C-alpha cells in the first residue's frame, strides 16, 4: 500500500536514499542541505548503516568513494561552498568509475553568497567543475515527490554506469513542504557483476561500463586516479591510452543520454516553449495553468546532464525557447548550442523564484 505524507524536500531526499538501500552517508553540515545529514544521522545507525560526519567536504567525498569500493551504496549532501571542495574527489570518482550519489541543495553564490536562499548557480560546475574531461549524470527535482524519486533513481544510475550521480536540487525544493506519495517499493539496479580473472577496467560490453570488482572479494584490484590501463595499473605517459580511457569515461555517459533521459513534453505544437528544471518548473506550471488554451509549450527536464537535446526537436513549430533559471543563463547556453531559433534566457538571482507575472512578461515581450 502506498502512503501519503507531508514532508520537507530534504526529508524526502533522505527517505528516498534509504528506500534505495543507501547504507553509508559521509557528510559535513551546510545550509541549506543539513536536514539530509541530520536525517541520515538519526536513521542510518538503526538500519545497520553508517553515518559519519567528516572534517570537511573534501573528506566527505573521499569517504563515500572509499565506502563505495567496500560495497556500500554511499551518499553525501552539500551546497555551494562544500560542492566546490568536493570537486577534487569528484574527478577521482569519475576517473576511477566509482558509483556514488552527491546531493547539492543549491544556494546563492559565488563564495558564501546566500546560505539560506535558493539558486541554480552550480549547473555548469556540476558538469565541468573538476579538472580534465569527464562526464557525469545530474538530476533536477522540482517537487518533494521528485526529491524522493530522483534520489532513489540516482543510486541506480550511479551503479549502472559506475559514475558519480548528482541530485541538483535547490533551496526552494529542498525546504518546501508538500504532499508526497510513498511507493511500496523502489526499483533497485545492481552493479554489473565482475568476471573474476578479467582485467578490472576492461569494458567489453557496448555500454562501455566494466563490471565492479568490490573490495574484499579477492579481485586484488588496484584503483588509482592516475591514467591507468585495463588492469588498473598506472600508464600516465601513454598518450593513446589516455585518450581511449577519457573518451570511454565520457562516451559511456553521453552515449546513454537517451536511455536515461527523463523529461516531459507539454504542448509540442506551440510556438513559444519554456524549458525549465528544478524550482522554476513550478512557476512555469503556474503560467501554463493560468493559460488554458494550450498555446505555450513546456519542456521540463529532470536529467539535465547529459543534456537530452533531442527533446528540443520535438517542438516542431518552436519559434523561441524561453529558459527561466535561478542563474545567469547556464543551461540556456547549452540549449543555444542545439537549436536554430532564438533562446531567451530569463535569469533570476537573489534567492527567490520567478513570479508567474515575470514569465508572462517575458512570454509576451517581442525580444
Partner 1 sequence: MSYEDWFRQDRLPHIYCAGCGNGTIINCTLAAVDSMGWTKEETVFVSGIGCSSRAPGYILTDSLHTTHGRALAFATGVKMANPDLHVVVFTGDGDLAAIGGNHFIHACRRNIDLTVVCMNNQIYGMTGGQGSPTTPKGCLSSTTPYGCAEIPFDLCQLATAAGANYVARWTSYHVKELEKAVKVGLETPGFSFIEALVQCPTAFGRRNKFRLVADHVEYLKVHSLLRAKRDRMLENGEHIPEDMFVVGELTRRNRPAMGVKP
x-or-dash string of contact with partner 1, 195-214, rule CB under 8 A: ------------------x-
3-state secondary structure of 248: helix
Q: Taking CB under 8 A as the criterion, which residues in 224-243 touch partner 1? A: 224-226, 231, 233-234
CB of 42 to partner 1, least distance (A): 17
Binding segment for partner 1 among 71-79, 140-148, 237-245, 296-304 (CB under 8 A)? 71-79
In the bound state with partner 1, the residue whose beta carbon lies nearer, of 64 and 126, is: 64
Among 26, 80, 297, 351, the residue binding partner 1 under the rule CB under 8 A is: 26
CB of 61 to partner 1, least distance (A): 8
Is 72 among the residues that bind partner 1 (CB under 8 A)? yes
In the bound state with partner 1, the residue whose beta carbon lies nearer, of 113 and 129, is: 129
Half-sphere exposure of 47 (CA within 13 A, CB side): 19
Is 59 among the residues that bind partner 1 (CB under 8 A)? yes
Name the CA dihedral angle for 257, 296, 120, 126, rounded to a multiple of 10 degrees.
Answer: 10
Is 64 among the residues that bind partner 1 (CB under 8 A)? yes
CB of 310 to partner 1, least distance (A): 36
Closest Cα to residue 323, out of 258, 271, 274?
274
In the sheet that holds 343-347, the strands lie side by side as 263-266, 296-301, 272-276, 320-325, 343-347
Rounded to whole angstroms, the Cα distance separating 22 from 124 reads 27
The CA–CA distances, whole Å, from 104 to 277, 343, 360 equal: 14, 27, 29
Rounded to whole angstroms, the Cα distance separating 158 from 148 reads 16
Among 19, 62, 150, 304, the residue binding partner 1 under the rule CB under 8 A is: 62
Is 250 among the residues that bind partner 1 (CB under 8 A)? no
Is 164 among the residues that bind partner 1 (CB under 8 A)? no
CB of 231 to partner 1, least distance (A): 8
In the bound state with partner 1, the residue whose beta carbon lies nearer, of 59 and 176, is: 59
Angle separating helix axes 80-96 and 57-69, nearest 10 degrees: 30
Angle separating helix axes 280-290 and 356-364, nearest 10 degrees: 70
Sign of CA dihedral 273, 264, 150, 356: positive
Among 3, 220, 289, 340, the residue binding partner 1 under the rule CB under 8 A is: 220
In the bound state with partner 1, the residue whose beta carbon lies nearer, of 93 and 304, is: 93
CB of 98 to partner 1, least distance (A): 10
Is 129 among the residues that bind partner 1 (CB under 8 A)? no
In the bound state with partner 1, the residue whose beta carbon lies nearer, of 72 and 172, is: 72
> Which residues have CB under 8 Å from 187's CB, separation 6+?
152, 153, 156
Among 67, 123, 144, 169, the residue binding partner 1 under the rule CB under 8 A is: 67
Closest Cα to residue 174, out of 6, 8, 353?
8
Q: Taking CB under 8 A as the criterion, which residues in 88-107 touch partner 1? A: 88-89, 92
CB of 75 to partner 1, least distance (A): 12
Is 27 among the residues that bind partner 1 (CB under 8 A)? no
CB of 25 to partner 1, least distance (A): 10
Site size for partner 1, by CB under 8 A?
42
Three-state SS string over 249-315 comes to HHHHHHCCHHHHCCEEEECCCCCEEEEECCCHHHHHHHHHHHCCCCCEEEEEECEEECCCCHHHHCC
CB of 91 to partner 1, least distance (A): 8
Are the C-beta atoms of residues 320 and 366 closer than 8 Å to each other?
Answer: no
Interface contacts to partner 1, rule CB under 8 A: 23-24, 26, 50, 52, 54-56, 58-60, 62-72, 74, 88-89, 92, 213, 215-226, 231, 233-234
Amino acid at each position: 500500500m502506498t502512503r501519503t505524507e507531508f514532508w520537507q524536500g530534504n526529508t524526502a531526499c533522505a527517505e528516498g536514499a534509504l528506500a534505495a538501500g543507501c547504507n553509508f552517508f559521509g557528510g559535513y553540515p551546510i545550509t541549506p542541505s543539513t536536514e539530509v545529514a541530520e536525517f541520515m544521522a538519526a536513521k542510518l545507525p538503526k538500519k545497520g548503516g553508517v553515518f559519519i560526519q567528516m572534517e570537511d567536504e573534501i573528506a566527505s567525498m573521499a569517504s563515500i568513494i572509499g565506502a563505495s569500493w567496500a560495497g556500500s551504496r554511499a551518499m553525501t549532501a552539500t551546497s555551494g561552498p562544500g560542492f566546490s571542495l568536493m570537486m577534487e574527489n569528484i574527478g577521482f570518482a569519475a576517473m576511477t568509475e566509482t558509483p556514488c550519489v552527491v546531493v547539492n541543495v543549491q544556494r546563492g553564490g559565488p563564495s558564501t553568497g546566500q546560505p539560506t536562499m535558493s539558486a541554480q548557480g552550480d549547473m555548469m560546475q556540476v558538469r565541468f567543475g573538476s579538472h580534465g574531461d569527464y562526464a557525469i549524470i545530474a538530476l533536477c527535482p522540482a517537487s518533494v515527490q521528485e526529491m524522493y524519486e530522483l534520489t532513489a533513481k540516482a543510486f541506480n544510475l550511479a551503479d549502472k554506469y559506475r559514475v558519480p550521480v548528482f541530485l541538483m536540487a535547490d533551496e526552494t525544493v529542498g525546504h518546501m513542504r508538500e504532499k508526497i506519495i510513498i511507493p511500496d517499493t523502489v526499483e533497485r539496479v545492481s552493479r554489473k557483476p565482475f568476471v573474476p580473472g578479467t582485467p578490472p577496467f576492461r569494458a567489453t560490453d557496448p555500454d562501455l561500463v566494466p563490471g565492479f570488482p568490490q573490495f574484499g572479494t579477492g579481485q586484488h584490484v588496484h584503483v588509482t586516479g592516475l591514467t591507468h590501463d585495463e588492469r588498473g595499473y598506472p600508464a600516465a605517459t601513454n598518450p593513446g591510452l589516455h585518450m581511449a580511457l577519457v573518451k570511454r569515461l565520457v562516451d559511456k555517459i553521453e552515449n546513454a543520454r537517451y536511455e536515461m533521459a527523463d523529461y516531459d513534453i507539454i504542448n509540442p505544437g506551440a510556438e513559444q516553449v519554456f524549458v525549465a528544471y528544478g524550482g522554476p518548473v513550478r512557476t512555469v506550471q503556474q503560467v501554463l495553468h493560468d493559460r488554458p488554451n494550450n498555446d505555450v509549450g513546456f519542456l521540463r527536464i529532470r536529467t539535465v546532464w547529459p543534456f537530452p537535446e533531442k527533446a528540443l526537436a520535438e517542438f516542431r513549430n518552436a519559434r523561441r525557447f524561453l529558459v527561466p533559471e535561478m542563474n545567469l543563463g547556464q543551461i540556456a547556453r547549452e540549449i543555444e548550442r542545439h537549436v536554430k531559433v532564438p533562446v531567451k534566457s530569463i535569469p533570476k538571482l537573489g534567492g527567490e523564484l520567478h513570479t508567474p507575472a515575470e514569465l508572462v512578461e517575458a512570454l509576451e515581450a517581442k525580444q
